[in-house]
Every structure is written in structure tokens, then in C-alpha cells.
Amino acid sequence: MLRPTFRHVLGSVLLVLAVPLLLWQQQPANQWVLPQSSFLALHSLLETVAVAVAMLVFVTGATVAGIQRSSRAMELGGAFLAVAVLDLLHLLAYAGMPDLLGPNSPQKTILLWLLARYFSALGLLAFVGLAERPAPARTWRMAWFLCVLALALALAWWPLTTPERIAAMYQPGLGLTTLKIGLEWGVCGLFLLAALVLVLRWRTLTGAEPGSLLLALLLMAASELFFTLYREILSLPNLLGHAYKVAAYYYLYRAIHVEALRRPFERMQYLLTHDVLTGLPNRSAALEWLQAQLGQGSQPQRPGAVLLLDLDHLQTVNDTLGHAQGDRLLTAVAARLRAALPPSAYLARLSGDEFLVQLPETTLAQAQQVAQTLQAALAREFELGEDRIGINASIGVVSYAQQARTVSTVLSQADLALKQAKQAGRGSVAAFDDALEQAFRRTARLEAGLRVAIERGELALHYQPKWDIGTGRLSGWEALLRWQSAELGSVRPDEFIPVAERTGLILSIGDWVLREACRQLRQWRDEGLPTGTMAVNLSARQFRQRDVAEEVSRALRDNGLKPQDLELEITESALMDDLPAAAVALTDLQRLGVRIAIDDFGTGYSSLAYLKKLPLNCLKIDRTFVTDMTASEDGAAIVATIIVLAHGMGLKVVAEGVETQEQFVQLREAGCDQAQGYLFFKPLAAPECRDLLRACKRLAEQGTASASQS
């Protein structure tokens, strides 16, 4: 029940020592009488300490009552305000001290002593026995303290002015009277009763450290027993009683005053190292823990693993059900994680929806199994009031069993694994390895390079011609983005475009592509070249911008182009992410007059049904379908069916990735309108496009001349 500290052991020794001292002082011959000057000096010192501690208890009680609204602290503070005043009057009224409101006498000082002891005993009994209640407002608290002080002074008035009118407590030469001894036993009984109540309420008592408070009560009871023995005022048992009272006050100070200071400090320390919502260690505590687990310097590092767990779509819960329900979910998640983890695991909350798990003496395979266990635990719905909430988590795993690593290294590797798990589709587990690190380093370099690629002039457009299958003439171009990085060399579009999409850089890059393509088309037109239309790919992020139609209109206007000169290509997935919003955006673009093509048809939802709901002009068959045409009859039949249905809805059809003559023949026989691919030309730089356009112009002029001659 008690935590063995030196302080508690010392108090226990004093209690045990009180027994032989009391037995020794039972014999009058052992009650040594001290010279009055020596006794007064020691008595004054002891009582001054007692008055100071009593005032500390009063100040502490008044402060705690104001800050924590504790009625028990207020009541105890008031009682010890009275004790401090009465102990001070007891000191000043002692025989041998200057007279205080009349001649000082043993009768006067004993009466003041008893008053102080009953105030302290009753105050401590109320403190340990009464239930906590909210303290009243400041005005009423001040009124309480003033009333207690007035009561103490009023009760002290008679001993100070007319002590002889009160029954005798001491008779010179004979010692203490029966009444005085009985009153001391009464005080002793109150202290022992308070100690018993404290033991019974040990686990529920607040506002004091129970071990020190119990020692204070027992030492006060022992102190009262010494005051039942002495025959002479200046004798040793009187001095021992005062000494034990001061010892008791020291433990009372520890229990009440120091506890009032220590508890807020401990609370502050707790808040600095723990998450208030879940009660789990926070990020700073987790970092310190990991540092200790990883070891420092030459200390051997113990094997283990770290899991980073991120709740998927927690923000959706906050947005739909409110933050209060989101907080309840986080608390329930923390409890379920703790229950699913092995006892040796360390669990902390790093941020809003991210948790850390440290597993000592664990291999990578075992850590992955723990991760699967946690996902299974979270797979069960959470019942929070009337709501049933389902949530899953992405988990990154890293093992530090093989080589020494720093905390920052382990966390960065776990974070890379977590990002990989999220990219895999959420609700996944991914483990860190060297290949993953290399991939993410590559991604980081790509992102850094893309941020300055436009300013450095590293981005360029190549253009792939589209051919009219019926006439064999060039009908237009598709602008394709290329990146020649000074640090990374030539970077493939399928590598850097996803990075641009994820980081949001695609917005500025996409705007540059749109404007550059329009500028190039204008330049060719100014040179009198037969350009046809220009097709520009519109990213999903661009398409979701509310002002996309205005941006397109501005690019056309700035370059003196008509809306019919531009075709915007949008993928199936970008359309189907939010079909109603897509319909609104497409309608705005159609009003502008630009042509809309659905790109890579067949790679997404592959449904022609939704096409009827959207204002589209063109459908582009993905290269995978074109490739399958010559591989099987089913492939050819699928492409033919798509063309027929698209024509039935008034859509032109463009085939992408045409690479063989056989594919071209089948597309022509199926009625496809246009084609592009390496069979005709690969994507060309602007100067090469100019040469091609000039060649087409010469051919057209030659054809016209031949026709006129005939």
C-alpha cells in the first residue's frame, strides 16, 4: 500500500520509537526538567516551525480551492488557519514569555494548545472523510476563512483574558488534571479515527499523498500521548510531544503542500509526453523510447521492428459525423490496438490519425504478422452510440534487426513503407527494403526536379500526327509532354506524370502544356501550314478545377485560335470519379466550342452506356485493344463493336498505338475514322513536325496541280 521511500521509513521509525519513549516517560524519575531558558528556546523554535507549516497548509488549501474548486481543500485550509493562529498564541502565552492580555500561565497556554489540537484533528478528519464537492465562489471562500478565523479568536479570548474561569488543566506540583488528560485522549482518538478513515478510503482519496498523510496522523496521535504524562511544564515529555508534533507537521506538509505542487507538475509532465485523447504516449515520448530501444554509441542494439499505422479516411468520419464522434473513434481504435498487440509492444499516437508500434525481439516476418492482426482487429465495425463505423488502416513495417540505425532513419524507412502501403490501395501492409528506398529516393528527385523544370526550360512538347483513315491525310496532332532533366536525363512520362498528379504540380505543368500547344499551333498556322486540330491531354486535377473552361478560353484567346481548333482528351477514370461534376465541366467546355475526346477507352470502366450522358465528340480506343485485334478474333470483334456503337452515338473514333499494317487494315475495314501510332510516325519534335507539314503541303499542292491539268 505504501511505496517504501526513505521518508516513509524514517516516519515509521519515529512511530516505533514512540513506544519505548512513552514507556520510559511513564516513570516520573525519567521526566527530566529543563532550565526555563533552554526549554523556552527549544519550545519557541518548534512552535515557530509548526506555525509556518500550518500557514503553508492554509495557503495551499486556499490556492487549491480556487484552482481545482476543491471544497475539502477549502475546509482544511480554514481549519489550519485557525491552528496557525492558536499555535502562535500558545507560543506567546507560554509561562516565561512576555505577558499576553494578562499574566501568562500554564492554564492559559494549555487551553490554547487544546483548541489548536481540536481544530487540526477535526479539520483532518473532515478532509479524509468528506466527499469532494465543488468549492463555492471566491467571495464565499473568503467568507469561510474569515468565519473560521473569527471563531478561533473568539474561542481563544477566554483563555487569553480569564483562563482561571475555565476548569483547571494543570496543578503545580501535582501535574495534569484528569480533564486535561481526557481531552488529550480525545484529540488522540480523533487523529486515530482520521487515520482509520484514510486507510478505508486509500484508493479514492484525492488532494494528498496518502502515505505521508497517514504518518502525519499517527505521529500527531503519538504526540498527544506525551501530553498526558508530564508533571512539570518544563519536563522532557512536554518537549518530546512538541517534537513529535513538528515531525507530524513535516509529513502533513509533504502530504498536502508538496502534493499540491507535485500533482500539477506531474500532470504537466504527463501532458508533455502523452496524448490527452487516447492516453497513449505522444510523439516526443515515442522518440525517446525508440532512442532507448535502439541503443546509443557502442551499446549493442537489440533486434526489433517498428510499425507505422495510418487510419484511412478518418477525415471522412469527422466531416460526416462530427469531430466529437471522430474523437470517440480514435479512443476506441487505440483501445482495440492495445488489446490486439502482444504485452511487450509499445504503442504511441504520433499525430491525428497515425500510430506507432514498437515490437522488441521481433523479426520482419513476425512484425508483418502483427500488422495483419491489427488490420483484422480494425476490420470489425465500431459501435459508437447509434453509429456503426468501419475503418481500416495502412501499415508500414521496418525491421532494425540487421544493422544499427538511428531513430530518424528507422522512422523515415517506416514512413516510406507506409507510403507504399497507401499507394497500393489503402488498407495494405508494406515492408521496407532497399528497393523501396531507391524507388522513393527516385520519386523525391523527380518531385524536386519537376518543381523547377518549367523555369529551367527542361519540359518540351512532342507531337504525334493523327491520320484520317479514309483519305490518308493528316487530320491533327496530339501534344505529348517530354522531360529532359539536367540531373536525371530523359524521364519517361509514365514515371513523372503520376508524381506531378500526386503533388499538384500537374496544375502548373498542365497549364504550360495547354498554352505551349496553342502557341505552336498558332505559329504553324502563321507559316501557312495545314495543321489540322491540336489535341491536349487534360489531367484529372485540371479537370476538377472550377475555372477549367475559363483557362482554356484564355489560352485560345491569347493565341488567336478558334475553339474548334482544340481538342481536349480526358481519361475515363477522370470522368467517372465524379460523373455529375464531370457532366457540368464538359457542358461548360462544349459551350465554349472545343472538342472533347475520351482517352484510353477500355482501360477504365469500359462502358458505352455512360457516354450517352456526356457531351463528347470523340472516342479514342486504347492501344491494348488495337494490339489484341490481330491476336484473336475476339479482340477484333470487340474493337468493331466499339466503333459501331460509338458511331451510333455520333462520336468519331480514333485508334491509338497502331504499329502494323495488319492493324491498320482491320481498323479501316471496321470503319475507324482516325489512327495514330508508330506505323505512321512516332511523336516528333516541333522542327520535325514542321518538315512533315511542309511535305504534306507540297503533296496537297501537287495533287491540286495534277487535278487542274487533267
Predicted confidence (pLDDT) per residue in 245-254, tens digit: 999 988 988 8
Q: β-pairing, 474-485 with 674-675?
A: unpaired
Q: Is the pLDDT score of 207 beyond 60?
A: yes
Q: Report the alpha-carbon distance of residue 550 to residue 563 in Å, rounded.
A: 12
For the domain made up of 283-432, give the CATH fold: Alpha-Beta Plaits (3.30.70)
- pLDDT, residue 604, reads 55
Q: Is 3.20.20.450 the CATH number for 444-701?
A: yes
Which position has the grid cell 478545377? 545
Q: Report the alpha-carbon distance of residue 312 to residue 142 in Å, rounded.
A: 54
Q: Is the pLDDT score of 296 beyond 60?
A: no
User: Which value, in Å, is the radius of gyration of the alpha carbons in the chain?
Assistant: 45
Q: Which three cell numbers stand for residue 71?
A: 471544497
Q: Report the alpha-carbon distance of residue 401 to residue 418 in Å, rounded.
A: 19
Number of helical (H) and strand (E) elements in the chain, helices listed first: 25, 18
Q: Confidence class of residue 313 from pLDDT cuts 50, 70 and 90?
A: confident
* Chain CA centroid to CA 697, Å: 66
Q: Is the pLDDT score of 662 beyond 50?
A: yes
Asked if 252 and 57 count as a contact pair (C-beta separation under 8 A), the reply is yes
Indicate yes or no: pTM above 0.85. no
CA angle 338, 341, 347 (to 5 degrees): 55
Mean pLDDT lowest among 54-68, 115-129, 520-534, 546-560? 54-68
CA angle 164, 166, 168 (to 5 degrees): 75
Which residue has better confidence, 86 or 352? Answer: 86
- pLDDT, residue 297, reads 44
Q: Report the alpha-carbon distance of residue 705 to residue 710 in Å, rounded.
A: 9
Q: Report the alpha-carbon distance of residue 662 to residue 683 in Å, rounded.
A: 21
Instruction: Establish how many alpha carbons lie within 13 A of residue 680's alpha carbon, considering only the half-sphere containing its beta carbon.
Output: 27
**Residues of the chain above pLDDT 90, percent:** 40
Q: For the packed helices 6-25 and 210-226, what is the interaxial angle rounded to 10 degrees?
A: 10
For residues 287-309, average pLDDT: 76
Domains of the chain by residue range: 35-272, 283-432, 444-701
- Cα separations in angstroms, 682 against 477, 479, 489, 677: 11, 12, 20, 6
For residues 454-470, average pLDDT: 91
pLDDT tens digits, 476-499? 999 999 999 888 899 999 888 888
Q: Confidence class of residue 298 from pLDDT cuts 50, 70 and 90?
A: very low
Bridge partners (DSSP) listed for residue 140: none
- pLDDT, residue 209, reads 83
Neighbours of 126 (CB within 10 A): 17
Q: What residue type is 150 in one-letter code?
A: A
Q: Confidence class of residue 593 from pLDDT cuts 50, 70 and 90?
A: very high
- pLDDT, residue 704, reads 63
Which range has the top average pLDDT, 306-310, 360-364, 433-437?
306-310
Average pLDDT across the chain, whole number: 87
- pLDDT, residue 600, reads 77
Q: Is 1.20.1070 the CATH number for 35-272?
A: yes
For residues 118-142, average pLDDT: 88
Q: Report the alpha-carbon distance of residue 672 to residue 645 in Å, rounded.
A: 12
- pLDDT, residue 495, reads 87
Q: Which three cell numbers stand for residue 455?
A: 523555369
Q: Is the pLDDT score of 141 beyond 70?
A: yes
Asked if 633 and 668 count as a contact pair (C-beta separation under 8 A), the reply is no
pLDDT tens digits, 386-443? 888 888 889 999 988 655 578 888 888 888 888 888 877 777 899 888 787 787 788 8
Q: What's the CA dihedral at 684, 687, 693, 695 to 10 degrees?
A: -100
Asked if 676 and 567 count as a contact pair (C-beta separation under 8 A), the reply is no
Q: Confidence class of residue 182 from pLDDT cuts 50, 70 and 90?
A: very high
- pLDDT, residue 605, reads 53
Q: Is the pLDDT score of 573 beyond 50?
A: yes
Q: Report the alpha-carbon distance of residue 271 to residue 569 in Å, rounded.
A: 54
Asked if 512 and 454 count as a contact pair (C-beta separation under 8 A), the reply is yes
Q: Choose among 11, 6, 2: nearest CA to 250.
A: 11
**Residues of the chain above pLDDT 70, percent:** 93
- pLDDT, residue 275, reads 87
- pLDDT, residue 1, reads 42
Q: Is the pLDDT score of 32 beyond 60?
A: yes
Q: Is the pLDDT score of 61 beyond 90?
A: no
Q: Which three cell numbers stand for residue 485?
A: 532533366
- pLDDT, residue 183, reads 94
For residues 562-581, average pLDDT: 83
Q: Is the pLDDT score of 583 beyond 90?
A: no
Q: Report the alpha-carbon distance of residue 128 to residue 136 in Å, rounded.
A: 19
